[in-house]
Structure formats: structure tokens, C-alpha cells
């Protein structure tokens, strides 16, 4: 195969990846979340808001470029994963004037860790349980689910700053769904048993 044919094949493969409904549809959903987050943000936006928008932008790109799944979960597992992902979007955060320095710094740190984990996961990214290849480097050497860990830390600050009953219910529901999601994901990805022996903790070392 000459260089021209090879580049055409690569280009066609990339185009097919970009145009797959399974990639385009969730990317559009996340694009809506990105635009909505930007629209609702105050101006000038806080550092945590800027980082969250950067993360959402990265997620849109990952959806478009992710690998095909070698194995996927069932419909119920998909619904649980979507619920765990989007439940936190119903949290009602505090007014900007009510924010505090330490929680804000924690949010920024959580977002940086979240971005690190997403960048490491790369084209293996997905929302519903699926096997797109095991990733075990970067933050995945420390815990098995660093994205969920940093997400939980980020959104926990919402509850700390606005500890209402409504937010408490959302947090409980979201975390329960995430626990179920984690357990199911670990049963789908090939090679996970060996990985589990090397990285013992799922979310928080010495806790779970």
C-alpha cells in the first residue's frame, strides 16, 4: 500500500469514527451541557467554572474519537450509568458571593485531577459500561476509578457550601448509582481481575 492509499484509509477510518451515531449523539448531549454551563456562568467566570467547561469540551472530543467497544453492558446498566452521570447536574450550588476560599481550591484541585484522569483514559472513554481497552497508567495506578473519585470530590463541595435536603437527596441517589455502575464496569472489562490485584482500591485508598 502506498502512502496516499494509507492516508486515505486512515482518513476514511477517522471519518467513520466521527460520524457514528453512538459517538455523535452523546457528543451532542455533552455539547448542550457545555453551552448551558457557559450560559449560566457569571462573567468573568470563576476558575472552577473555566476548568469545568474545559473538561466538558474534552469530553465532547473524546466521544467523537473513542474506540469501538469490544463488549457492552445491558440496557439497565446503561440507564444506571446515565443516571449516575447526570444526577449531579440537578445539584443547586451556592450563590457566587457565598463561596469560600478553601472549598473553591478543593474544587479546582478536583477538576485538575478529573482532567488528568480523562486525558489518561483517552479513547477508552465512555459513559455506559463497556470494554474499550483497560487503562492502568497515570492516576489509574493509584485507584481504579479516578474519574469518579475526582467527580465526587468536586460535587461534594456543592453540598458543603449548600447543605440542603434537596442536595442531600441528589448526592445520595447519584452516589448509589455510581457504586452500582462501578461494580458492573469491573465485570465487563477484559483483564480486570489481574488489574484488581495490582490496584486494590476503587475510589479512596484504604476506604473502598
Residue 131 backbone dihedrals phi, psi, to 5 degrees: -105, 105
pLDDT at 5: 41
pLDDT band for position 148 (cuts 50, 70, 90):
very high
Confidence check: pLDDT of 119 > 80: yes
Give me the pLDDT at residue 140, please.
95
Architecture of domain 3-198: Up-down Bundle (1.20)
CA–centroid distance for 46 within its chain? 21
Q: Is the pLDDT of residue 85 over 90?
A: no
The domain segmentation of the chain, as residue ranges, is 3-198
Q: Per-residue confidence at 99, pLDDT binned at 50, 70, 90?
A: low
Is the per-residue pLDDT at 50 higher than 60?
yes
| Residue 112 confidence (pLDDT) | 92
What pLDDT does 30 receive? 65
Is residue 87 a contact partner of residue 173, using CB atoms and an 8 Å limit? yes
The pLDDT value recorded for residue 194 is 92
Residue with cell 459513559: 127
Cβ 93 vs Cβ 158: under 8 Å: yes
CA distances from 82 to 63, 108, 163, 164 (A): 14, 24, 24, 24
Q: Is 132 left (phi over 0), alpha (psi -120 to 50) or beta?
A: alpha
Mean of pLDDT over the chain: 79
Amino acid at each position: 500500500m502506498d502512502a496516499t492509499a494509507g492516508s486515505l484509509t486512515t482518513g476514511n477510518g477517522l471519518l467513520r469514527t466521527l460520524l457514528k451515531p453512538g459517538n455523535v449523539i452523546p457528543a451532542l448531549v455533552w455539547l448542550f451541557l457545555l453551552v448551558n454551563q457557559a450560559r449560566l456562568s457569571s462573567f468573568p467566570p470563576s476558575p472552577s467554572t473555566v476548568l469545568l467547561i474545559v473538561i466538558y469540551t474534552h469530553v465532547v472530543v473524546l466521544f467523537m474519537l473513542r474506540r469501538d467497544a469490544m463488549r457492552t453492558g445491558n440496557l439497565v446498566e446503561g440507564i444506571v450509568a446515565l443516571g449516575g452521570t447526570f444526577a449531579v447536574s440537578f445539584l443547586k450550588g451556592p450563590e457566587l458571593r457565598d463561596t469560600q476560599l478553601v472549598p473553591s481550591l478543593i474544587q479546582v484541585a478536583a477538576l485538575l485531577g478529573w482532567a488528568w484522569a480523562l486525558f489518561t483514559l483517552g479513547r477508552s472513554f465512555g459513559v455506559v459500561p463497556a470494554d474499550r481497552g483497560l487503562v492502568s497508567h497515570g492516576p489509574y495506578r493509584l485507584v481504579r476509578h479516578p474519574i469518579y473519585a475526582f467527580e465526587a470530590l468536586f460535587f461534594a463541595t456543592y453540598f458543603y457550601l449548600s447543605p440542603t435536603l434537596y442536595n442531600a437527596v441528589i448526592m445520595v441517589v447519584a452516589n448509589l448509582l455510581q457504586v452500582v455502575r462501578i461494580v458492573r464496569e469491573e465485570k465487563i472489562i477484559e483483564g480486570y481481575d489481574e488489574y484488581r490485584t495490582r490496584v486494590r482500591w476503587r475510589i479512596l485508598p484504604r476506604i473502598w
